[in-house]
Amino acid sequence: QVQLVESGGGLVQAGGSLRLSCAASGVISRTNTMGWYRQVPGKQRELVAEITSAGSTNYASSVKGRFTSSRDNAKNTVYLQMNSLKPEDTAVYYCYANVATIGFPYGNDYWGQGTQVTVSS
């Protein structure tokens, strides 16, 4: 019943920027930790960034200093600002959120549909 919808992916040249958005919808009691994973063919999905409900963040070493995650709790939305993009950032990016509902009063994990980010050199 909870749906996460992503937007903002696309094609960008190396050194460019993109901003991803992910909004959770449904009958939501509370949105806990939200974040971003990415995946390329043949590799495991890796954590890119996460942000708690209080705004504390954690980043993968490969993106630290270039990517910034933020959130708008009133809109149940998480963002990923990606600057200084590199070809190795090319992947499908998935957002996730731990969301509390009447059925899961302490939270359950949900995933977005994924959005393609392609960085050309």
Question: Chain-wide mean pLDDT for the chain?
Answer: 97
Given a cut of 90, whether residue 1 has pLDDT beyond it is: no
Across residues 28-56, what is the average pLDDT?
96
Q: How far apart are CA 7 and CA 23, in angstroms?
A: 9
Query: Could you tell me what percent of the chain has a pLDDT over 90?
Result: 99
Residues with Cβ within 8 Å of residue 87, at least 6 apart in sequence: 14, 119, 120, 121
> Hey, is 15 helix, strand or coil?
coil
Comparing CA positions, the residue from 91, 109, 7, 103 lying closest to residue 50 is 109
